[in-house]
Amino acid sequence: MSKSIYITHRINDLTADKLALHFHGKHSKFCGEHTISFDNSLGKGKITMVTFNHGMALLSFRMKLNTDFYFETCFDGHIPMDFMFLTTGTMDFTENGETNTILSYQNVIIRYEKKRKALFRLGKDEEIMLNIVQICPDQYIEKEGSRVSFFPGEIKNIFRNGNSPNMLYHFGSFNLKIADYIRQLNSNPYLGLIKRIITEGNVNIIMGLQLHEYENYYTDSTLPPSLVRKDLVKIKNATEYLKNNIDSNISVKDLAKEMQLSPQKLQTGFKFLFQKTAHNYTKEIRLQEAYNLLSTKNYSVSEVVYKTGYNSRSYFTQIFFERFEILPSDFLKSNK
């Protein structure tokens, strides 16, 4: 086994120091966010870490390694809970002699037990994109509006027992909506305090979605029988295809053909993951792009109509008004 990192504490500055030392990385800190970059014999990658109030933290890995990476946990003091999500790659989790492989797009929640060991492995030669949202339940529930009594159904169970919980791990359903918010989190263009505020907002949304999936998992609101994991990967590819071809007026039938899915399965996937038809999902991202383009003040309404794949300015004006309650021409004037 390659040398592992031994973690006995919740995510904090010491975590960043240990990771920087292990990967021989360049370590910087700005406005509370740690960044560790490395490109050496161990591999190439970037690790970011930020802590928030009320016992919440975010740890993100973007890397490809030349050797397996292990980290072992055994907590004392404040016992944390991890909300894990891989958008690329796999990870092994071993506890009490049993190993589970965590897959891409799978919702994972782990509530640790005091002084009970767990081992994680990230494999070599594999692109890894891993996000860990960590909270200390005994601190988090002190946050206004976060009392356990306010939590619905099954969610109460993972917040019970204060700071002396039993081990609990949930390897749940696959969810592209969470992946979409993680993409937004990782593409945050702002700096300093503004970036921190937006990051914390996205972290709360991601944790909320993971808790929502956890509750649905135990109320049988899981993946429809007609969908399997490889279908979710294709639907994820479909969303990227739509975003990269936003100026094309592609039909649902053509999109399904491009992704090698039946139109019915494509629609089932979009409805399950986004609560929208493929058509309405496409309409939403095109309107959001139109909003962003108009906000730059660099384009006329006619140019934005063309750039977002619409053929009729009058139809674009109608649906833009329905979505944002302002005419695109008036919106453009208001930004000047």
CA-to-CA distance for 301 and 282, rounded, in angstroms? 19
- The pLDDT of residue 226 is 62
Question: For the chain, where are the alpha helices, taking DSSP H only?
Answer: 13-23, 137-140, 155-159, 176-186, 192-217, 229-244, 252-259, 263-274, 278-295, 301-307, 313-324, 328-334
Question: For 24-134, where are the alpha helices, taking DSSP H only?
Answer: none
CA-to-CA distance for 94 and 117, rounded, in angstroms? 9
Task: Please give the domain boundaries of the chain with CATH numbers for all domains.
Answer: 4-217 (2.60.120.280), 229-334 (1.10.10.60)
Instruction: Considering only CA atoms, give the Rg of the chain.
Output: 22
Strands 69-73 and 4-7, sheet pairing: parallel
- The pLDDT of residue 218 is 72
pLDDT band at 22 (very low <50, low <70, confident <90, very high): very high
Q: Which of 162-166, 231-235, 257-261, 283-287 has the lowest mean pLDDT?
A: 162-166
- The pLDDT of residue 103 is 87
Could you give the percent of the chain with pLDDT greater than 90?
57
Position 31 pLDDT exceeds 70: yes
- pLDDT one-digit tens code per residue, 282-326: 999 999 999 999 998 899 999 999 999 999 999 999 999 999 999
- Burial of 11-37, coded b for 16+ CB within 10 Å and e otherwise, reads beeebbeebbebbebebeeeeebbbbb
- The pLDDT of residue 131 is 97
Q: Encoding tokens for residue 73? A: 């946990």
Helix (H, G, I), strand (E, B) or coil at 228: coil
Indicate the pTM of the whole model.
0.72
- The pLDDT of residue 180 is 83
Could you identify the residue written with the tokens 């294709």?
Answer: 234
Inter-residue contact 256 to 263 (CB < 8 Å): yes
